[in-house]
Amino acid sequence: MLVLSRHTDEAIMIGEDVEIVVVDIRGDKVRLGVNAPPRIAVHRKEIFEAIREENAHAATLRSALGISGGGGHALNAASGRLRAGAGTFATIRSIAAGRVSA
Amino acid sequence: MKVNTTRFGEVEVDPGRLLVFPQGLLGFARFRTFVLLQPDDRGVFYWLQSVEDPELAFVVTEPTSWCPDYRVTIRASEMALLEMEDPSAATYFTIVNQREGAITANLQGPLVINPQTRTGVQVVMSDRQWGTRHELVRLPGAAAAMSA
């Protein structure tokens, strides 16, 4: 790993269009500013990892939530309590590409 | 066009209905093109199926149906990627999971879609108010044990 020393208000460049600025240093906390084009996503690592882990697990669901019998019943009951407006579902239908049997 | 899927076989979709996530989803950056599939007309869960990988699909739902207070904080860079100025014109989904006897939703990493351009992004919210495993439904014992 490349290790660089920087003072407050100094920066590093990654490639031609990503700039990381040391905004403030206080105790063991460093505030960093990131200037990057929109196509480059910048995230706190621990949150990034948590979401990535959820995505990976979610991608392993095989059937409609892997539920049958009582589980399906619980889902239907919960769905009955939902309060989405008709407008929301109309928008979703306009986005959906097709119908499948799960 | 035909989309091959391992779960639903070959599905015929209108090419105008494709959804493009220019950055992919976290951990799945290589896959950019998806279609939203409806199991039935009244269901609240949908499948976000990859067009590029038949195996890759996520169960998603519309989060404010479950949590009316839920709000997504979108950064300017994400709005720019979606080519949107008004966040209220976006459509929101959350990826659904099955965790420890419950159906959960990742409310910290919602999917935001511009319905006009059919472009989407998985937003990473830095505040932890909602979390990655927000419980939607607790499953009864039998179903919970089955998923363990």
For an interface test with B, the pick among A17, A19, A95 (most B C-beta atoms closer than 10 Å) comes out as A95
The answer to whether the CB atoms of B45 and A64 lie below 8 A apart is yes
Predicted pLDDT of residue B40? 67
State which H helix or E strand residue B34 sits in: strand B33-38
Predicted pLDDT of residue A95? 79
Residue A4 makes CB contacts below 8 A (sequence gap 6+) with A12
Rounded distance, CA A89 to CA A94, Å?
A: 9
Closest CA–CA distance from residue A59 to any residue of chain B (Å): 5
Query: Is the confidence at residue A93, as pLDDT, over 90?
Result: no
Q: Give me the residues of chain B with pLDDT under 50, please.
A: 147-148
Q: Using CB atoms, pick whichever of A48, A94, A100 lies closest to residue B11.
A: A100
The answer to whether the CB atoms of B95 and A69 lie below 8 A apart is no
Q: Using one digit for the tens of pLDDT, what is the confidence trace for A1-54?
A: 999 999 999 999 999 999 999 999 999 999 999 999 877 878 889 999 999 999
Residue B122 makes CB contacts below 8 A (sequence gap 6+) with A51, A55, B21, B23, B25, B26, B109, B110, B111, B112
Predicted pLDDT of residue A69? 43
Query: Is the confidence at residue A70, as pLDDT, over 50?
Result: no
Find the mean pLDDT for residues A51-67: 81
Query: Is the confidence at residue A68, as pLDDT, over 80?
Result: no
By the 10 Å C-beta count (0-12 exposed, 13-18 middle, 19+ buried), B131 is classed as middle
State which H helix or E strand residue B19 sits in: strand B19-20
| Single-letter code of the amino acid located at A57 | H
**Whether A52 contacts chain B with CB within 8 A:** yes
Predicted pLDDT of residue B148? 44
A68 to chain B: closest CA residue: B143
Predicted pLDDT of residue A63? 63
Predicted pLDDT of residue B7? 86
Output DSSP code: residue B129. Answer: S
pTM of the predicted model, to two decimals?
Answer: 0.82
Predicted pLDDT of residue A4? 96
The answer to whether the CB atoms of B8 and A101 lie below 8 A apart is yes
